[in-house]
Amino acid sequence: MDAQIAKLKEWVDSSDNIVFFGGAGVSTESGIPDFRSVDGLYNQQYKYPPETILSHTFFMAEPEEFYRFYRAKMLALDAEPNTAHLKLAEWDRMGKSRAGVTQNIDGLHQKAGSKEVLELHGSVLRNYCMRCRKPYDVRDIAAGTGVPKCECGGIIKPDVVLYEESLDSYTINKSVEYIRNADILIIGGTSLAVYPAAGLIDYYRGNKLVLVNKSETPADRRADLVIHAPIGQVFSQL
């Protein structure tokens, strides 16, 4: 076992106050593509970049085009939790993990069995009518075509934080509380490029800040332990 992974295992084994902060890299290992990855095929299919389509303005102005992209690129309902999700759920059951704070919207942490999951950017699994707030199942959205409408006539919107929309204040405050009080903060599968979510790690006050990511991040310099490897590969050894 790599010395850094051995050190992380030692820390994890002796802690009952671990908080995990994760991003897209956790989900890509379950086969969910990072929606930001644009290739030639993408440009043949869509006239706008993903960040434009996934904005509040675009959703309100072009809901049909939004849903064409959303169904094709954002819904991966058959994806299964991977080693990282399952290890975090195991720590949860053992009373070691306090919370998982995620930027992902796929619900895989809960599917793996984690109880306390704070979804900074919402979830594709929840959908509501914008007019009457009636909830709708994601499978109804996935199976439909065009713009999904409620029986009251309102447009159904996924409970996902789009660009230009603000994060839920309860979720933010709860995440800050967990991060601030954590013994170990493990940051995994995120380049820490998306704000304000990435700014939350600044609230950590401990001395066991761990970064597990395939590439370098802006927080590498201040981390107490840095492991540049796929998160599933690392977590399978813990």
- The residues that are catalytic are 121
Alpha helices in the chain (DSSP H): 3-13, 24-28, 40-45, 50-53, 56-61, 63-73, 83-93, 108-112, 138-143, 169-181, 231-235
From residue 77, give the alpha-carbon distance in Å to each of 11, 36, 55, 136: 34, 19, 22, 15
227: which 2 tokens? 């492991």
Residue 106 neighbours by CB distance under 10 Å: 24
From residue 66, give the alpha-carbon distance in Å to each of 72, 116, 158: 10, 31, 11
